[in-house]
């Protein structure tokens, strides 16, 4: 399995409040946000990681040090010279690093799932989406059968109470690529960027089995906005992040 980490965004919401450092370097409870996000995947550290990052952030030395610190042994870094249309497009930029038959899990850099809550042994199906019960409409949502198989995935439309945590598994990279080629333009047209979650609808409509796994909401810590960080770290001050 390849673990594909998308960390090539602008971090606009942090820039708006005066944070100048790259999002993955923002200090949270005394450690970089990168470290918190990667600890979510501690049970996957024996897999090969692929980090997709922006050249302007000069990420290579940071990633080298962080992976050594965390114990991630096998990885490579894909450097982008331009911003993409969204997370799915950023993932596609790593295509040369992933074989078509390789399983892949795409994950973000701004969610911390407590260690041990998410493990490889719960993954099954052509696709797999861990979820948690969430209020509000800021999330991607999954509608499921009584047995937990996904029947539809939406973006910012609350079709259920089960929100995604930003971990998106495909048992073959080719499934993701096919969904991206068929749906990315329509997803971007509808939502303004290429989100990964709605791409699962392509797989589902073609008979793919997409399973879910419900996490305890207490184990899921979203770190994507300044408000989220203030909730997680009561001492967080954007002015300390220049």
Structure confidence by residue, pLDDT tens digits, 18-51: 788 899 999 999 999 999 999 999 999 999 999 9
User: Which residue from 203, 192, 197 is spatially nearest to 153, judged by alpha carbons?
Assistant: 197
Q: Which residues of 179-201 are buried (b: 16+ CB within 10 A; e: fewer)?
A: bbeebbeebbeebebbbbbbbbb
Q: Does domain 122-220 have CATH number 3.90.550.10?
A: yes
**Global pTM exceeds 0.85:** yes
Ranges of each domain in the chain: 1-111+223-242, 122-220
Is residue 34 within 8 Å of 109, Cβ to Cβ?
A: yes
More confident residue, 19 or 6: 6
Tell me the residue ranges of DSSP E strands in 83-167: 104-107, 111-113, 127-133, 140-144, 150-155, 162-164
More confident residue, 7 or 19: 7
Fold of 1-111+223-242: Spore Coat Polysaccharide Biosynthesis Protein SpsA; Chain A (3.90.550)
């Amino acid at each position: 399995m390849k673990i594909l980490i998308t960390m090539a965004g602008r971090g606009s919401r942090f820039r708006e409040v005066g944070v100048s450092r790259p999002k993955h370097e923002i200090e949270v409870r005394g450690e970089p946000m990168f470290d918190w996000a990667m600890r979510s995947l501690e049970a996957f550290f024996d897999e090969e990681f692929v980090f997709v990052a922006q050249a302007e952030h000069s990420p290579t030395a940071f990633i080298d040090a962080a992976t050594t610190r965390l114990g991630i042994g096998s990885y490579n870094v894909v450097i982008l010279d331009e911003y993409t249309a969204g997370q799915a497009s950023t993932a596609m930029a790593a295509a040369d690093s992933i074989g078509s038959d390789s399983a892949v899990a795409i994950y973000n850099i701004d969610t911390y799932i407590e260690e041990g809550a998410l493990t490889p042994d719960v993954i099954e199906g052509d696709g797999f989406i861990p979820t948690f019960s969430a209020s509000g409409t800021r999330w991607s949502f999954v509608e499921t059968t009584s047995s937990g198989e996904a029947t539809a995935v939406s973006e910012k439309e609350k079709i259920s109470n089960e929100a995604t945590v930003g971990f998106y598994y495909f048992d073959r990279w080719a499934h993701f690529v096919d969904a991206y080629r068929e749906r990315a333009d329509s997803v971007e047209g509808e939502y303004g960027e290429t989100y990964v979650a709605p791409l699962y609808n392509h797989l589902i409509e073609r008979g793919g089995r997409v399973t879910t796994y419900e996490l305890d909401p207490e184990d899921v810590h979203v770190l994507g906005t300044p408000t989220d960080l203030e909730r997680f770290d009561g001492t967080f001050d954007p002015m300390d992040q220049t």
